[in-house]
Amino acid sequence: MKILISSFILFIAFGGFTFAQMLKFGPDCDIGMLAPNFTLTKLLQAPSNAPTTLSALRGNIVVLEFWATWCSPCRTAMKHLSVIAEKFVNKPIRFLAISGEPSEVIEKYLLSRPNKLWIGIDGNHEAGRLYRAVLIPLIIIIDKDGKLLTVTTDKEITEERLDALLAGKSVDFEPMRILTAEEIFRKESLLIDRSVLPSVIVKSHDDYGGWDSITIDNDGRMLTALARPSALFLEAYHLQWAQIEVSDKSDKESLSQDIYFVNIILPKGDKQALRDTLKNIISRDLHIDNRIEKRKENVIVLRRIQGTSKPILSDALVPIFKYDRTIVTAVKQPIASIIKYLNTMFSVPIIDETGLKGEYDLSFSWDLLKKTGLEEGLALLGLEMVKNVEREVDICVVKRKVTSSN
């Protein structure tokens, strides 16, 4: 069975958050203020008379975890919280794990990964929006009076600290702190010695929880990345998420969870040499092996709409490519950039059959609330997606190397 790698701790399934909002997580209220109330659409693993509204839990300390089935750090957090929850049975503490995924997805997940937590289904994404659950796992503690106590991490939740809270004592929790990519890049850039080239730096960075960030400068001399091994692999081998298969399920978490800062500077511009160096880093420093297999798979074909005119080649001086959920800015870009964007939304390979070989201005936006919003947005560019088409594609089978340190 194919195991696809998820590259984000970001949980946009709770609602339409923008990239800027991603940097603001947790409830939009101050510590000590009344925590925003919400109503869940369903509760699992809770008593039949358990309330679905937060306000009805007043008198209890409430430990919230916002999570998703695909989020490997969330699973680690849930396992820890489940162990803690067992020690507080019949005490006024409620452990509530909230997901915006469909109930049937959660129920199937719990069959193979049981735990002792109440599971809240946030079918309307009300809780996720109120608590800005854009970075997960997100752990929030609410006191007996319904006031926000802290936004923290699962490691801060201990039996001793919860006992102290029940006894009415003041407890200090380390707040959740996530550095932005810009902060880390700025810090690391001061340590780079540019006098000796080529320069290669590889560092583990577990203090970052945002998007994978990989940039190559215009002249092809420098690659800078803050990303998980899975995303580094895609950049090095020019593959899509759906073309990566992890051969050993135990490898999946580390490939999609560990975060590395990578900086490569070459004496002269050569983008292919940058990617070849990144391949060596993946093999030598991250201890990852791979092999390519040809397979017939169901794919999405991106093609030009019949009868539409071919786009005009861009005359822009500076290439720009960025996207913010439903707004794509693509100036002087190949069609591969649009496919890169579409890859964030689909779990099957997307094949380019547009015949467009140059660089074009391909910016567009679409309506998230419309079922055909994306299709209508692409149509403005003269493009359409044809789904459930069979094509032969490269599948890259990935496996961690066995080393003496493993």
If one compares 205 and 326, the residue with the highest pLDDT of the two is: 326
Whether 389 shows a pLDDT value over 70: the answer reads yes
The distance between the two most distant Cα atoms of the chain, rounded to a whole number of Å, is 73
Confidence (pLDDT) at 206: 67
Indicate the pairing of strand 288-304 with strand 244-246: unpaired
- Is the pLDDT at 19 greater than 60, yes or no? no
In DSSP terms, which residues pair with 255 in a beta bridge?
none
- The owner of tokens 């073309």 is 243
The end-to-end CA distance of the chain, in Å, is 25
Q: 340 Cβ partners below 8 Å, 6+ apart? A: none
Residue 162 CB neighbours (<10 A): 21
Question: Which H or E element spans position 215?
Answer: strand 213-216
Specify the pLDDT at position 32: 87
Q: What are the phi and psi torsion angles at 8 (to 5°)?
A: -120, 140
For residue 386, how far is the Cα from the chain centroid? 26
pLDDT on residue 195? 84
The CA angle 52-77-204, to the nearest 5 degrees, is 145
**355-374 residue pLDDT tens:** 999 999 999 999 888 889 99
DSSP string covering 100-112: -S-HHHHHHHHHH
The average pLDDT across 88-100 equals 94
Whole-number average pLDDT of the chain? 85
Backbone angles phi, psi at 327, to 5 degrees: -120, 120
Structure confidence at residue 401 (pLDDT): 80
CB atoms within 10 A of CB 291: 10
Predicted pLDDT at 71? 77
* Alpha-carbon span 159 to 201, nearest angstrom: 40
Is residue 14's pLDDT more than 50?
no
Model pLDDT, residue 57: 95
Examine the pLDDT at 301 and tell me if it is beyond 90: yes
Tokens 């101050």 locate to: 30
The structure tokens listed for 75 are 């699973």
- Could you tell me the pLDDT band of residue 196, with boundaries at 50, 70 and 90? confident
**pLDDT surpassing 80 at residue 30:** no
Average pLDDT over residues 309-332: 89
> 58-88 in b/e burial notation, b at 16+ Cβ within 10 A?
eebbbbbbbbbebbbbbbebbebbbebbeeb
pLDDT of residue 403: 63
- Per-residue pLDDT at 210 exceeds 80: no
Q: What pLDDT, on the 0 to 100 scale, is given for residue 376?
A: 96
Q: What is the pLDDT of residue 264?
A: 93
**Does the pLDDT of residue 121 top 70, yes or no?**
yes
Q: With bands split at pLDDT 50, 70 and 90, how would you rate the model's confidence at 249?
A: low
**Residue 188's Cα: distance from chain center in Å?**
23
For 275, phi and psi rounded to 5 degrees? -70, -35
Q: Which of 171-175, 316-320, 330-334, 388-392 has the lowest mean pLDDT?
A: 171-175
SS3 196: coil
Q: How many angstroms separate the CA atoms of 184 and 169, rounded?
A: 37
CA pair distance 14, 130, nearest whole angstrom: 10
Q: Which helix (H) or strand (E) holds 271?
A: helix 271-284
Q: For residue 355, is it left (φ>0), alpha (ψ between -120 and 50) or beta?
A: left
For 43-92, how does the pLDDT look when each residue is reduced to its tens digit (9 = 90+)?
999 999 999 999 999 999 999 999 988 777 788 889 999 999 999 998 99
Complete domains list, the chain, with CATH: 26-166 (3.40.30.10), 178-286 (no CATH), 293-394 (no CATH)
